[in-house]
Structure formats: structure tokens, C-alpha cells
Amino acid sequence: MRRVRSIAGDSVNLLLYRELGRCDDAAEETLWRLNPELAEHGPVLPAGVWVVVPEMPARPTVSQPVSAWD
């Protein structure tokens, strides 16, 4: 895990996308568990807030659809 500082106007989704290249539910849930105090700042983070970013693959694995004909 690494720590990054927010930029003025960052939301959690924007910060995740900038740092991980993804902002899906799994990444967001992990970030909230690591940073429960972020909710105190509201939906838009002020500049300079330290955020612990989880170590996750850049893109979530895409499951292959299952077909009845396979």
C-alpha cells in the first residue's frame, strides 16, 4: 500500500482512477476500509489529504460469459 495526497477537487473515484486506472466497486470498497476517516471530508476531498491507496491490479479481471452452447 502506498500513500498519496489528494488534489483539490478530487473525489474518491477520481483519485482511484488516477492512481490505479480503475474505480470499480471492489477498489472503492477497499479504499474506504483503509481510510474510514475520508467520509469526514464529504464527496469532494480538499487538497493535501493523505490517502492510503490499495495495491490492486490496474484492471479487474473480466470473467468470460458462459453460454449454454459451450
pLDDT at position 14: 94
Per-residue pLDDT band for 1 (boundaries 50, 70, 90) equals confident
Does residue 60 fall inside a structural domain? no
Rounded to the nearest 10°, the torsion over CA 53, 30, 60, 63 is 170
Per-residue pLDDT band for 62 (boundaries 50, 70, 90) equals low
Does residue 62 fall inside a structural domain? no
pLDDT at position 68: 82
% of the chain beyond a pLDDT of 90: 64
Q: How far is CA 17 from CA 20, 47, 59, 65, in A?
A: 5, 17, 10, 25
Average pLDDT over residues 4-31: 92
Domain of residue 29 covers: 2-53
How many other C-beta atoms are found inside a 10 Å radius of the C-beta of residue 65? 6
Q: Answer whether residue 64 shows pLDDT above 70.
A: yes
Q: How many domains does the chain have?
A: 1
Does residue 25 fall inside a structural domain? yes
Does residue 35 fall inside a structural domain? yes
